[in-house]
Amino acid sequence: MIPELGHFALILTLCLSLALAVFPLFGAHQGRASWMAVARTAAAGQFVFVAFAFGCLVWAFVHNDFSVLYVATNSNSALPTPYRIAAVWGAHEGSLLLWVLILAGWTLAVATFSRNLPERMGSRVLGVLGLIMLGFLLFVLTTSNPFDRLIPAAMDGNDLNPLLQDPALVIHPPMLYMGYVGLSVAFAFAVAAMLEGKLDSDWARWTRPWTIVSWMFLTLGIALGSWWAYYELGWGGWWFWDPVENASFMPWLMATALIHSLAVTETRGLFKSWTLLLAIFGFSLSLLGTFLVRSGVLISVHAFASDPSRGLFILIYLAVVIGGALALFAFRAPKVTSRQGFRLLSRETFLLSNNILLVAATALILQGTLYPLFMDALELGKVSVGPPYFNSAFLVPIAPLLLLLGVGMHAAWIKQDGQSLFERLRGVAIVALAAGVLLPWAVFGSTSLLTVIGCALGLWVLLSSLIQPLARLREGKGLTRGLVGMSVAHIGVAVCVLGVTITSAYNIETDLGVQPGETVTVGGYDFTFQGMRRVEGPNYIADEADVRITRDGELVAELKPQKREYRVQKSPMTEAGIDGRMSRDLFVALGDPLGGGAWSMRIQYKPLVRFIWIGAILMALGGALAASDRRYRVAVRHRRREKEPVGVPAGEPA
């Protein structure tokens, strides 16, 4: 009964989203207040019903209703309850329902918090969000209904994939989806502006907080994914440039560019059509990610479903939504112009460079991810593009970006005096370069060009981000949230870069066969294998090892890595033992028994690996601070002498 109610609720949601898609947009076009007013009510209504539907699915999981096909495929009566709830979004149909729920949530948030928007604008934004929702609901109801019944009902379920039975499953997908779906708000604002036919600083001021918040969630979601892969998969890696990982990274890069571009539009009314394009790209890449994960056109460990028929639906949806927005852009953007200018050395230039480099990075990741598909489609053969390519290629735009980042945040709008900038930064630059050259070599005993570059750039950004806040504190001036947010976020970038550089350069990984009682030394630490025992979990049995770690005779940690066999799916899984500190992680994972009580183990020493995720947390924190600053407003008083206005040719991109 409950699943049927859920199904029915989804159908009602569809009707409401249809209303939301149709009435406000036509209402705004024709100036009908009553039709525009539909938006808020429809937004609230659709959220209520989709939340109810989601609740029904959760109920089905918690109560082990194996007459529902999706529950039977992804759950089991022995599965602990928290994982039963998380299993709701563990596979294709449920994760789509989560997407739809979150989209309804964002739509409601926009409806609630945009009362200061002019009515036509607000209606258009909500209308676009309704259109997006409509498409997704049609997809769910026609091809991916989580409430389909299994008749006769299964005796018990197939259990959730063991790799997903982890606390991270509870937060990683929701965080990621909050980010992905949140970018639809910026997209909706962009489309609404194009429909209105005008774009100004006010528009940028409305759009920016929504973008920063979704960027924040996306940052955390990606970081959680990386962290989860690190401790769950057992090989100690944290990023593989897998197509689905790239599919989350590209929208993040675009959202970062968008946040910075919006700053220029907000402050000086420049880069308008460019900002529109970035807003479209951001959400487009989110949708592209959805397509790649569920269509089977690319191979990935993350692929939910390789179903070309579902893929076709998503592709058509993609073509309509993105193609429509880009076509609208082609018509409307030329009319969006600005007459402002700026000099070569100015904040505008640095932000322009930021955007260009981030777009270049996104383009290269997109190309690398899709290249196997391009070649296959053109019958040029099969090829794989993996970390050896991406690790090198990504540095090409990112190194200049980091270099310019350290300078850009100190540049003034319109015109910056080069000499004063140089004097302000000279000291920091020298310190960063010297430390980059000397510190890694001093601490680890060896170095390389890449290590030096990475450390120098990381330290450069770190120190440069501290200049302004410290200067203002010294002068007795207060700190605004905007400034602190920016500094913290940039420091987060620096911390992340340092973590990546050091752990890539100096991590030590050894595979060894170890006898009980034997001690091995890795990275200066002594690992003693003390013995094995058998442990039973709620739905698995495991071999658990006792590994004692000492250094210079002093106890550092006792780890208990496990090798589990889950009863239902019978797949073996390794739970690594990790001793984590800021300065380094010690990582032990079990392999196979070698006979005679000996086991093979992978032991790793990973310096500064936590910096990668700490950096991401700092970035998100910075974003939260920046988004909460209401005073992020700049007035530019431009006193011109008597001059003819300089003609701006129509269709300039900024």
CB of 471 to another protein, least distance (A): 14
CA within 13 Å, CB half, 653: 6
- Report how far apart, in Å, the C-alpha atoms of 368 and of each of 237, 277, 305, 371, 515 are: 20, 22, 22, 5, 44
The 3-state DSSP class for residue 239 equals coil
Of the residues 152, 381, 445, 553, which one makes contact with another protein according to CB under 8 A: 381
Of the residues 11, 33, 301, 442, which one makes contact with another protein according to CB under 8 A: 301
Q: Which residue type, as a one-letter code, is found at position 128?
A: V
CA–CA gap between residue 235 and residue 231 (Å, rounded): 8
**52 interacts with another protein by CB under 8 A:** no
Give the closest residue to 95 by CA, choosing from 124, 136, 134, 40: 136
- 8 Å CB contact between 129 and 185: yes
Q: How many chain residues interact with another protein (CB under 8 A)? A: 129
- 8 Å CB contact between 119 and 35: no
CA–CA gap between residue 435 and residue 84 (Å, rounded): 50
Kindly indicate which of the ranges 15-23, 56-64, 327-335, 422-430 contains the residues binding another protein, using the contact rule CB under 8 A.
327-335
Give the closest residue to 583 by CA, choosing from 428, 378, 443: 443
Of the residues 340, 504, 528, 628, which one makes contact with another protein according to CB under 8 A: 340
Nearer to another protein by C-beta: 359 or 545? 359
**337 interacts with another protein by CB under 8 A:** no
**640 interacts with another protein by CB under 8 A:** yes
The DSSP output letter for 90 is: S
Give the closest residue to 332 by CA, choosing from 504, 433, 199, 462: 199
Kindly indicate which of the ranges 19-27, 173-181, 317-325, 497-505 contains the residues binding another protein, using the contact rule CB under 8 A.
317-325
Alpha carbon 31 to its chain centroid, in Å, reads 38
CB of 338 to another protein, least distance (A): 9
Residues 2-21 interacting with another protein (rule: CB under 8 A) = none
Of the residues 26, 52, 59, 235, which one makes contact with another protein according to CB under 8 A: 235
Q: Hey, how many other C-beta atoms are within 10 angstroms of the C-beta on 633? A: 11
Of the residues 31, 386, 517, 538, which one makes contact with another protein according to CB under 8 A: 386
**523 interacts with another protein by CB under 8 A:** no
Give the closest residue to 493 by CA, choosing from 398, 574, 417: 398
Q: Which residues lie across from 598 on neighbouring strands?
A: 595
Residues 437-456 interacting with another protein (rule: CB under 8 A) = none
CB of 498 to another protein, least distance (A): 23
| Six token digits for residue 136 | 């997704």
Residues 185-224 interacting with another protein (rule: CB under 8 A) = none
Q: Which residue type, as a one-letter code, is found at position 304?
A: F
Residues 361-380 interacting with another protein (rule: CB under 8 A) = 363-364, 367-368, 370-377, 380
Residues 534-573 interacting with another protein (rule: CB under 8 A) = 569-573
**528 interacts with another protein by CB under 8 A:** no
251 exposure class (CB count in 10 Å sphere: 0-12, 13-18, 19+): buried
Binding mask 591-610 for another protein (x = CB under 8 A): xx-x-----xxx--------
**356 interacts with another protein by CB under 8 A:** yes
CB of 377 to another protein, least distance (A): 4
- 8 Å CB contact between 226 and 620: no
Burial letters 320-350, b for 16+ CB under 10 A, else e: ebbeebeebbeebbeebbbebebeebbbbbb
Nearer to another protein by C-beta: 41 or 504? 504
- Report how far apart, in Å, the C-alpha atoms of 158 and of each of 203, 338, 435 are: 50, 60, 55
CB of 240 to another protein, least distance (A): 8
Binding mask 126-165 for another protein (x = CB under 8 A): --------------------------------x--xxx--
Angle at the Cα of 234 from the Cα atoms of 233 and 238, rounded to 5 degrees: 65
**628 interacts with another protein by CB under 8 A:** no
CA–CA gap between residue 53 and residue 136 (Å, rounded): 15
Of the residues 348, 403, 432, 539, which one makes contact with another protein according to CB under 8 A: 348
**490 interacts with another protein by CB under 8 A:** no
Nearer to another protein by C-beta: 40 or 481? 481
**26 interacts with another protein by CB under 8 A:** no
Of the residues 305, 431, 433, 541, which one makes contact with another protein according to CB under 8 A: 305
Nearer to another protein by C-beta: 550 or 569? 569
**95 interacts with another protein by CB under 8 A:** no
- For the CA atoms of 433, 435, 436, 438, the dihedral, rounded to the nearest 10 degrees, stands at 120
**636 interacts with another protein by CB under 8 A:** yes
Kindly indicate which of the ranges 117-125, 131-139, 172-180, 631-639 contains the residues binding another protein, using the contact rule CB under 8 A.
631-639
The DSSP output letter for 88 is: G
CA–CA gap between residue 544 and residue 533 (Å, rounded): 5
**654 interacts with another protein by CB under 8 A:** yes
Nearer to another protein by C-beta: 13 or 248? 248
**644 interacts with another protein by CB under 8 A:** no
Binding mask 280-299 for another protein (x = CB under 8 A): x---x------x---xxxxx
**513 interacts with another protein by CB under 8 A:** yes
Kindly indicate which of the ranges 9-17, 114-122, 214-222, 391-399 contains the residues binding another protein, using the contact rule CB under 8 A.
391-399
Q: Is there a cis peptide before residue 152, judged by omega within 30 degrees of 0?
A: yes
Read off φ and ψ for residue 193, nearest 5 degrees.
-65, -40
